[in-house]
Structure 1
Amino acid sequence: MRAIIILSKFLGNTFAYWVLIFAVLSYLMPQWFIFLKPAIIPLLGLVMFGMGLTLKIEDFSEVIRHPGRVALGVIAHFIIMPGVAWLLCQVFHLPAEIAIGVILVGCCPSGTSSNVMAWLAKGDLALAVAIAAVTTLVAPILTPALIWLLASAYLSVSFIDMLYSILQMVMLPIILGVMAQKIMGRRIDVAIDILPLISVVSIVMIVAAVVSNSQSKIAESGLVIIVVVIIHNTFGFLLGYFTAKLFKLPLAQRKSLSLEVGMQNSGLGAALASAHFSPIAAVPSALFSVWHNISGALLSTYFRKMKEDSHSDVKPGENGSTNKILQ
């Protein structure tokens, strides 16, 4: 068991490198990983269940006591990402169909994998989950409204389908994890020690599945779209972080806000683009799905090494259940 725990910590510390290696490998040899596509949702559910094992009820009560942090994250998300998308379309003079695809992914809610990255980054997981859930709940109204405003198009988004998706892939596994923790008590500590191993393997498999199944679209998309996607995602991370810093949030919350603003539900974007526009409009979402998992992994690795500054208002022990898993 000790060897497994050591391996678990090693993989947690080198997480970003494994994501990069398998992203490249699955692009070069997509036939090796394409079979993983049906496993994406179960794997994400497994990671979310593991996070639930580390959460305490107090983590959520802290978020309830600070609703302004959640509101700040939601507002920042729906201003920064659509705004940056629109500006990039103007700067790069993108063709109409590609521009619509870029704006569409910018108007989507937070991606579910952002919760995983916030957890690995030792951010405030409860805040990250709350922001992702609220952006998803308001997306049926805000997403088509923003697309109509910025791209002169209107999308009919199913509130029930999006709500069911976030409940199935994020909220339900986390709730089950919290319940398992309450039932098993201290007996769950051994499982927590090997969760980094499970989470890293699961996320690497998810990235490999996404890359291998999007390989042909990525090959055909061209350099300009790739550059736009990278810039879009990077500005989301930066502006999200500095927005939180501007409002003097502690480091853990700054990490979560950065990741929740910069990472999108690009799977939803690809599905909506395919249904309402042309196939090429789905390419920015497909590329974003690949890139934000790689960049999110790199950023979470960097964030984990950051230390709270002396002016932080984080109290001793606050957010400890989130940090414990990767210590």
Structure 2
Amino acid sequence: MYADIQVAFSPQSLILLNGILAGMIFGVSMGLRRDDFVRVLRQPHAPAAGLVAQFLLLPAATCLATIAFDVPAELALGMILIASCPGGTFSNIMTWLGRASVPVSVSMTAVSSLAAIVMTPLNFGLYAQLNPATRELLRGISLEPMNILLLVALVLVLPMLLGMAVGKRHPEWATRAEKPMRAVTLLVFLCFVVIAFSRNQQLFMEYADRILLLVALQNAGALLLGDLAGRVIKLPQAERRAVTMEVGIQNSALGLSIIFTFFPEAGGMMLIAGFWSFWHLAAGLCLAFYWSRSAETVHA
């Protein structure tokens, strides 16, 4: 159904995309410190609630929704992949803009990035097999979970460790460079996505209504799960909002990287991840603006 979408990128394009993703992670990680991981052990409630929502509830709920609403196989597989990815790298900025708890957000980003090396391929493989429609699609693809694990390690975990090392060794330079690096890598990534959209503008417009609805509903569900997880354990408002943002901002760049590497002909998956790249940033910024203007906002 989506075979006409041109997603067969050249090896050079794949290297560029992985480089962009690694650069985004590196830039964010320069501000991470050992204390961000230690904080999870000392004050585990908020990060634990977020990680449960991120890696357990969201993939399961997404799988059930794709089955219940009979979502077409390629679109369902894209939704399951996005739900299996860790939190996005710009959730920290949006948490700060929304005047929520930045320490909780940073801690969750750090831990979820490490957990993704196992949880992303595990959840993707598990829930893709549980959905009968996506199971049939996967049967035609030779996919080794270890290959996804290796990709996640190379573009997520390794740049994070390198960024932390550089930040520790050159703290002043890291402080000056962190924000420009985030802005530049985000801009380059968005340009990459725009180019992909422009090559298929007519097709994207044709499918925009149904794809955007799926993406918007999934994103709303992710935000809701994050909020509910925080409410269940009665987190303070600032921490609950940080968890909500972390669960709602997915690392769609990682999703695109996996799609272009292992599913280059799956146009439906690319549509889901491509629309996610724009939608979750727009929704996150709107939510952050609403929080910042809310009379109930708690300054973290």
TM normalised by structure 2 equals 0.72
Distance of 2:287 and 2:179 partners within structure 1: 16
- Report the counterpart of residue 76 of structure 1 in structure 2: 57
CA shift in 2, pair 1:261/1:294, >3 Å: closer
Distance of 2:256 and 2:160 partners within structure 1: 21
Q: Which runs of 5+ in 2 are unaligned?
A: 1-11, 96-101
Distance of 1:62 and 1:148 partners within structure 2: 36
**2:94 alignment partner, one of 101, 118, 121:** 121
**2:153 alignment partner, one of 145, 158, 167:** 167
Distance of 2:53 and 2:281 partners within structure 1: 24
Distance of 2:84 and 2:113 partners within structure 1: 7
Q: How far is the alpha carbon of 1:239 from its aligned partner?
A: 1.5
- Range moving further from structure 2, 62-71 or 172-181: 62-71
**1:57 alignment partner, one of 29, 34, 42:** 34
Distance of 2:295 and 2:118 partners within structure 1: 34
The residue correspondences of 1:157-196 to structure 2 (distance < 5 A) are 157-185=143-171, 187-188=172-173, 191-196=174-179
Distance of 2:249 and 2:123 partners within structure 1: 20
The residue correspondences of 1:1-327 to structure 2 (distance < 5 A) are 38-64=15-41, 65-66=44-45, 67-89=48-70, 99-108=72-81, 110=83, 114-122=87-95, 124-150=105-131, 151=133, 152-153=135-136, 154-155=138-139, 157-185=143-171, 187-188=172-173, 191-213=174-196, 215-217=198-200, 219-220=202-203, 223=206, 225-247=207-229, 248=231, 249=235, 250-260=240-250, 265-269=255-259, 271-274=261-264, 279=265, 282-305=266-289, 306-307=291-292
SS in 2 for 1:116: coil
Q: How far is the alpha carbon of 1:201 from its aligned partner?
A: 2.4
Asked if the contact 1:50/1:192 (under 8 Å) is kept, the reply is no
Asked if the contact 2:89/2:251 (under 8 Å) is kept, the reply is no
Distance of 2:82 and 2:273 partners within structure 1: 13
SS in 1 for 2:146: helix
Q: How far is the alpha carbon of 1:141 from its aligned partner?
A: 4.1
SS in 2 for 1:260: coil
Q: How far is the alpha carbon of 1:215 from its aligned partner?
A: 4.1
Distance of 1:76 and 1:108 partners within structure 2: 14
Distance of 1:105 and 1:201 partners within structure 2: 27
Asked if the contact 2:87/2:249 (under 8 Å) is kept, the reply is yes
Q: How far does the alpha carbon of each residue in 1:173-213 deviate from its partner, in whole angstroms, 9 at most, with x for none?
A: 1211212222224x23xx43453333222222222223324
SS in 1 for 2:143: coil
Distance of 2:275 and 2:86 partners within structure 1: 12
TM normalised by structure 1 equals 0.67
Distance of 1:211 and 1:254 partners within structure 2: 27
Asked if the contact 2:25/2:156 (under 8 Å) is kept, the reply is yes
- Range moving further from structure 2, 153-162 or 40-49: 153-162
Distance of 2:25 and 2:278 partners within structure 1: 19
Q: Which runs of 5+ in 1 are unaligned?
A: 1-34, 91-98, 317-327
Asked if the contact 2:32/2:110 (under 8 Å) is kept, the reply is no
Distance of 1:263 and 1:78 partners within structure 2: 17
Q: How far is the alpha carbon of 1:295 from its aligned partner?
A: 1.3
Identity %: 11
Q: How far is the alpha carbon of 1:129 from its aligned partner?
A: 4.4
Q: Which amino acid aligns with 1:164?
A: L
Distance of 1:140 and 1:112 partners within structure 2: 9
Asked if the contact 1:105/1:285 (under 8 Å) is kept, the reply is yes
Distance of 1:107 and 1:126 partners within structure 2: 24
